[in-house]
Amino acid sequence: MEVPNNEENMSRCICGTCPTYIEGDTGFFCSLDFSKKGPVRRGCVCSECSLWPEYELSGGYFCINGKAG
């Protein structure tokens, strides 16, 4: 399911706590799309995000694979 790009959802984003996250990147990849900084898989916290069950997300690594939905 697509994750709406809004302030409420963005405030719940946990991308910054992910081992794959690159400092200074945008985050909120499930809604915005993949990172342009070329992250390398080092673990994924997507499934720990409160947006995961709400929007029935699957797959993870949205920073590499692109936005959900």
What is the number of other CB atoms lying within 10 angstroms of the CB of residue 63?
28
Examine residue 44 and state whether it is found in any structural domain, yes or no.
Answer: yes
Predicted local distance difference test score (pLDDT) of residue 25: 97
For the segment 8-20, what is each residue's pLDDT rounded down to a tens digit?
A: 999 999 999 999 9
Classify the phi-psi angles of 33: left when phi > 0, otherwise alpha if psi is within -120 to 50, otherwise beta: left
Predicted local distance difference test score (pLDDT) of residue 69: 87
Classify the phi-psi angles of 57: left when phi > 0, otherwise alpha if psi is within -120 to 50, otherwise beta: beta
The model's pTM: 0.93
Predicted local distance difference test score (pLDDT) of residue 61: 98
Examine residue 1 and state whether it is found in any structural domain, yes or no.
Answer: no
Classify the phi-psi angles of 18: left when phi > 0, otherwise alpha if psi is within -120 to 50, otherwise beta: beta
For the segment 27-69, what is each residue's pLDDT rounded down to a tens digit?
A: 999 999 999 999 999 999 999 999 999 999 999 999 999 999 8
Predicted local distance difference test score (pLDDT) of residue 29: 98
Q: How many residues does the chain have?
A: 69
- Domains: count for the chain: 1
Name the residue range of residue 40's domain.
Answer: 7-65
